[in-house]
Structure 1
Amino acid sequence: DYRKVVKQLEKLVKKGGVVASCLNTPFEKSGFIVDLYRNQLQDFEYINTLYSPEGFEEEDKENGVKICVFQRR
């Protein structure tokens, strides 16, 4: 349950700490995670999204594994 986990991050991650949130479903896009952080956490900055590596890439990269990286300010 991403919403429950995200609510706990301010207690678990020190300032400057990095969080990698993984999502492996074709039914949700990376924007799901990015929006969740933006709506629930004020002091986490979106860094980037990583996708499947070369040789394992999906036809549509948003249908495979998505790793959204954030850093606490």
Structure 2
Amino acid sequence: MTTDTGTTAPVPHHFVLTIQTDDGFTATTEGIISITPGAHTRQQVYTALCDQAREYYDLTRFAVVHFALEPNHL
């Protein structure tokens, strides 16, 4: 017998984020992020990944050229 604890296990998702600055600098980041269904929205993940890119590349402004977020299963 199983007991429903009301929690859902995180699901691994693959993401791709490409950014570009006004001066032409372009960077693509990809990876796996675990998302708990019902606890995170697509917009929250997008914002977190943009914040991470902003900090990593030490940027104040950039445009997102491409964003993809899909469950990492075939």
Q: TM-score, normalised by structure 1?
A: 0.33
State the structure with more CA Rg.
Answer: 2
Q: TM-score, normalised by structure 2?
A: 0.33
Identify, as 1 or 2, the structure richer in helix: 1
